[in-house]
Each structure stands twice: as C-alpha cells, then as structure tokens.
Amino acid sequence: MPVQNSDVRDIFNKMADLLDIEGANPFRVRAYRNAARTVSGLTRNVSDMIIENEDLTTLAGIGKDLAEKIREIVETGTLSQMEAVEKRIPSGLNKLLKLETLGPKRVKILNSKLGITNLQELKVAAEQGKIRELEGFGTKTEKSILESLQHVKDKEKRIKLLEAQQQAEPLIAYLKQTGEIKNIIVAGSFRRRKETVGDLDILVTCKNGPAVMKRFAAYEDIRNVVTRGKSRSTVVLRSGLQVDLYVLAQVYYGAALHYFTGSKSHNIAVRKLGIQKGLKINEYGVFKDKERIAGKTEKEVYGTVGLPFIEPELRENRGEIEAALNNKLPELVALKDMRGDLHSHTKETDGHHSLEEMAQAAKEQGYEYLAVTEHSKRVYMAKGLDSIRLAGRIKEIDRLNEKLEGITLIKGIEVDILKDGSLDLPDEILKELDLTVCSVHYNRNMSKKDQTERIIRAMDNPYFNILGHPTGRLINERAPYDVDMEKIVRAAGERGCFLELNSHPDRLDLSDLHCKMAKEMNVKIAISTDAHSRSDLKFMRFGVDQARRGWLEAKDIINTHSLNELKKILQR
C-alpha cells in the first residue's frame, strides 16, 4: 500500500507538535504545518509524483529540504528525524497540545512539575485539583482543560469534508471498475455537504451485487471489514474512516437515496407528512396499503407527500419542509454563479504564486475578477505589508491590469484588526484601495463583550468592507473566539459592511447557521477562498456548498455580481 497524502500530513503535523514542545524556532514549526496543509490539499497522490520523478519544490511551501523529507516518508513510511525528536519527548505529550487551552510552554510545565505525559494523566490531575495549584494556571484554566478534554473526545470521530472527499474519490473509481454498475453515489452527510462527516454511506445500484461486495472487501486501503453482507457491508479504512456500502436494485434507487442522504430528522419529518396522507415511506419506496406507489427517483418520493424536490444541502429539518410546502424554497447559489474571488495572497507575503500566476489561474476558473488581499504588517510571520509596500503594490496592480485580458485584479488588503479595534494601516492608504478584508488574527481570547466591541469598532472605520473569517475557528483544531455573532451581523448591516464566508476546508467560516442568520438579517456575504496558491482557488466549491447549507441565493452574495456592480456595492 503506497503512502497516502494524509500519512505525510500526519507526520509533518506531528513533527511540528514535537518541535513546538521543544520550543523550536516558530518559523521552522510553521514550515512543517504549511507543508502538511499543502500535501493534504493536493488533488494527486505524492507517492505517484515521486514515482514519476516530479519536482516537489514547485509546490506551495515545499523547499528542497521538505521535498527530500517527503521522499523519505514515501520510501520508508516514516521520517528518521521525527523518530529522533520523539525519543527526546515522552510519547503522548504532543496530544496535550491539541487542547485549545494548552500551548507548548504549559505542556512543558505540566510535564516537569506534575509528571504528566498523556491525556489520561492530565484528566486525573485536573479532577484532583492539582493543576490549579501550579503557577500561572488557576481554577479557570483547570476547568477549561477538563472542558477541552471532552471536546477532543467528541471531535476525533468526525473528519473534514475535503478529507472525506479525498478518500471517497479513489474508492468510487475503484468500485466503478466492477462493471454493470448503474449508479454509484456517496449519500449521507457527505451529499448534504456537511463540513465534517462521521462516515461515508455509499449507494450502488447494480445487477451483480455479490461482485460489488467482493470487490469492496478487497480494496487495498481497508484496515478491517466490520460486517459483510449481500446488500450491506461496513469497513474501516486505514485512516480510521468508516464506510457503509449499500447495494440495491435500480427500482429502489430514489427511495434509498432519499433515506440514506438523511438527515435523519429531515427523513422523520417527511415520513410524518406521509403518515398524514396514509402513506408509509421507507428505503424501499412509498407504500399505500401494500401497493408501492413511488421510489424510483427522489423527486417521486417528495411528490407523493406534496413536496417539490429539496436540495440535499437543505435537508437538516431547519424549516425546509415548511418552506417547500409554501413554495418558498430558496434558489440556491451554484458554483457557476461566482464571478470572482475576494480574498487571496501572493508570494509578496505568505502566498506561493505571483500576481500574474494568480490572475491567470482565476481567469482559467472563468472569473471576471480576483481581489489581491495581502496581510498587513502586524502579521509579521507572513511578511505583512506596510503603507509603503502597499503603495508599491497598488501601482504594480494598476500596471498589470492594463496588460491583462479577460480578468481584472482588484486592489485589496487583508488588514489586521488590532486589539483596540483600530485597523493596522492608516486611512490614507486604505482609501486608495478598491476593497478591504478586515480580520482578527491576534488577541483571540478576549471576553465576548470586548471581542464583539473590538470588531464593531473596526467596522466604524469607513474603509472597512468585509469581515474576514469572522469567528476565527479552524475545524477540529481551534474553537471560534468568543463573539456575539448576532450583534456583529447587525452592526455590519447598519454600516454597509459584509461578512466573509471563508471557503478554506479547514475554516468554512461562517458556519451554515451563521450564513442563514445573515440572510435573515439581510446582510450580504462574500464567498472567498483565502487562496495562498493557484490551486487553492478551487476551494470555492466548499464555500458555495456551505453557503447552500446556509440557504444563500446568488443575490445574497456580493461576488456573484459583475465587476462594475461590485464596485458600487463596495462604496459605503
């Protein structure tokens, strides 16, 4: 079994964690984390790239040294340097770093003062009240350690949608080779495009069921087969992801697809409507008395209870049934509605490609415009721009726009929102720009009240356009900062500001529910990728899917408009 991208990612992340505990140079730690992200975001397998002798240093954040390390991992399955670092550090200690409350410094203290080497020992110490006695910890920290321990337990079971997709695609391609397969589709939360999925539910219609099941059980990426039956099998992949496979006859396709797409609570609501009409709905069809009256397509199933087709992303029992009954379903935004991207970085700061390269990639994606929004100076880790460098960039973009055909670069900045709510660059330079994305990157742990006031104060600046990654969360890694989103959304509406839906699969920030809330409060959204390289522009799909889960239509989104319209929209 060749080494997977996720294996390389895990090793690099682990290396970063270990170096963190050792107190290594933060730039070095960051380089590993960036490389981990790059590799896990690749659409191709690094093992193949190595076999084909491709130059890995063309990848974002991969220099000669890291390329060599990737080769070593692909060839040996491990990294000798990591094993050396591991020997110096008690195993299990790096897991402590996963807790939001604990940084490397605190982990070191817990280890040296209380001898804690793993999560279990940490839990016992916290329960016994030993942690509060350490200098710099206190009862509040102890309590939040216990809370985040629970958090870790809950989270470890679900994986991000992008990772699920990267594992689903090769499996689907593999199963398709069985022959005689008519339909094959991943249902469940994956089809509803939920930001994380618990397991994959794959539906296959095929005349030769046993052949599919046999092939499935022989898939090389399987860790163990949990159950194997004629119509249903369950396996666990090497990554730990569970896959349920259902094989059925074509006549049941619609009913089964509806059933296994869920959500469970949506299904229950549909079934209730059926009961009111004297119908029984299950995964085999819709039945009146003993007679099967529908089930070949999902549309048929919905039709029997007087509903139009409901898009999978809406099937969460959050009002979609009522909306459908009243003919008020939203006409959901689609990827093809997007006319441009409003958040991107280049190698001038922490991105990996030039202005020209990013412009070209945006054009190939069919866009009319791309906003270049580099970090501002406060984000020194990313070589953020000061006024002078930004002024230079503005000129450069103006010159480049004269040359470019079929795509326009929008002059922007991702300006840091400072602790006191002021922006990191003076108005004199901000006013020269077409657009600002304003983001919180530091002082994340202020109280809810202070954090909310800080952001609203920033919005008072007349050059504030879009609030970048509004809650700062990283899925499964970092909780959102404490902020009153309802107040933020209202404040944005009152001031003519917009909220970003950051499409990066690690962020997806805003959440689906916050998107819906913004729509209900009539505040418009920018769906942006925060691209740090050309290929990141492809993350737009994840943002659009999240927007669809938030009931958004093209008219709710500012970058579905033409460049001229957009420029007007951005005038406060």
Which positions touch Zn ion (CB under 5 A)? 439
Q: Which is nearer to ligand DGT, 259 or 287 (CB)?
A: 259
Residues 6+ apart with CB under 8 A from 259: 267, 282, 283
Considering only 17, 195, 201, 545, the residue that binds Ca ion (CB under 5 A) is: 201
- If the CB atoms of residues 202 and 355 are measured against Ca ion, the closer one turns out to be 202
Rounded least distance, CB 100 to ligand DGT, Å: 23
> Quick check: 448 binds ligand DGT (CB under 6 A)?
no
**What is the number of alpha carbons within 13 Å of residue 414 lying toward its C-beta?**
30
Q: Which of 104, 209, 262, 412 binds ligand DGT (CB under 6 A)?
A: 262
* Torsion sign (Cα): 18, 24, 28, 31: positive
Give me 374's structure tokens: 């580099």
Q: Please state the closest distance from residue 329 (CB atom) to ligand DGT, in A.
A: 20
Among 20, 142, 163, 244, binds Ca ion (CB under 5 A): 244
Residue 268 contact partner, candidates Ca ion, Zn ion, ligand DGT, none, CB within 5 to 8 A by sort of partner: ligand DGT
Residue from 253, 259, 287, 464 binding ligand DGT (CB under 6 A): 259
Quick one: which of 8, 142, 141 has its CA closest to 69? 8
Cross-sheet strand order for the sheet of 291-294: 279-282, 285-288, 291-294
Written as one string, the DSSP assignment of 41-71 is T-SS-HHHHHHTT--GGGSTT--HHHHHHHH
Residue nearest to Zn ion (CB): 439
107 or 164: CB nearest ligand DGT: 164
Q: For residues 233 and 439, which CB has a smaller minimum distance to Ca ion in the complex?
A: 233
Q: What's the CA gap between 197 and 189, in Å, rounded?
A: 6
Q: How many Cα atoms are found within 13 Å in the side-chain-facing hemisphere of 224?
A: 3
Closest to 477 in 3D by CA, of 260, 220, 187, 160: 160
- In angstroms, the Cα distances linking 466 to 413, 439, 491 are 10, 9, 12
Q: How far is the CB of 540 from Ca ion (least distance, A)?
A: 24
User: Cα separation of 488 and 470, whole Å?
Assistant: 9
For the chain, what's the residue count?
572
* Residue closer to ligand DGT, measured from CB, 241 or 382: 241
Q: Select from 28, 182, 264, 448 the one that contacts ligand DGT (CB under 6 A).
A: 264
What gap in Å lies between CA 32 and CA 36, rounded to an integer?
6
Q: By rule CB under 6 A, what count of residues binds ligand DGT?
A: 14
Tell the smallest beta-carbon distance from residue 229 to ligand DGT (Å). Answer: 16
Residue nearest to ligand DGT (CB): 262
What is the C-alpha to C-alpha distance for residues 103 and 81, in angstroms, rounded to an integer? Answer: 23
Tokens matching residue 68: 């060599």
- Write down the least CB distance from residue 342 to Ca ion, Å: 33
In 3D, which of 384, 348, 350, 382 has the Cα closest to residue 532? 350
Span of 72-80, 245-253, 254-262, 506-514 interacting with ligand DGT by CB under 6 A? 254-262
Closer of 196 and 443 to Ca ion (Cβ) = 196
Query: Which of ligand DGT, Ca ion, Zn ion, none interacts with 439 (beta carbon under 5 to 8 A by kind)?
Result: Zn ion
Q: Is residue 252 a contact point for ligand DGT (CB under 6 A)?
A: no
Q: CB 302 → ligand DGT: shortest distance, Å?
A: 15
Q: Which does 254 bind (CB under 5 to 8 A by kind): Zn ion, ligand DGT, Ca ion, none?
A: none
Rounded Cα distance, 5 and 16, in Å: 17
The minimum distance between CB 198 and Ca ion, in angstroms, equals: 5
From candidates 216, 260, 302, 367, binder to ligand DGT by CB under 6 A: 260
Contacts of residue 168, defined as CB under 8 A and 6 or more positions apart, other chains included, come to: 186, 190, 200, 202
Exposed, middle or buried by CB within 10 Å (0-12, 13-18, 19+), for 72?
middle
Cβ atoms of 91 and 117 within 8 Å: the answer is yes
Q: Which is nearer to ligand DGT, 315 or 516 (CB)?
A: 315
> According to CB under 6 A, which residues from 199 to 218 bind ligand DGT?
199, 201
At 168, give phi and psi (nearest 5°).
Answer: -70, -40
198 is an interface residue for ligand DGT by CB under 6 A = yes
The answer to whether the CB of 557 falls within 8 A of the CB of 540 is no
Candidates 189, 233, 365, 452: give the one binding ligand DGT (CB under 6 A): 189
Count other C-beta atoms under 10 Å from residue 53's C-beta. 6
Nearer to Ca ion, 199 or 424 (CB): 199
Using CB distances below 5 to 8 A depending on partner kind, what does residue 218 bind out of ligand DGT, Zn ion, Ca ion, none?
A: none
Stretch 268-307 residues interacting with ligand DGT (CB under 6 A): 268
- Residue 264 interacts with, from ligand DGT, Ca ion, Zn ion, none (CB under 5-8 Å by kind): ligand DGT
Q: How far is the CB of 331 from ligand DGT (least distance, A)?
A: 24
Q: Which tokens go with 224?
A: 């163990």
Partner from Ca ion, ligand DGT, Zn ion, none binding residue 263, C-beta < 5-8 Å depending on class:
ligand DGT
d(CA 344, CA 125): 45
Q: What mask, x for binding Ca ion by CB under 5 A, covers residues 151 to 190?
A: -------------------------------------x--
What are the residues binding ligand DGT (CB under 6 A)?
A: 188-189, 194, 197-199, 201, 259-260, 262-264, 267-268
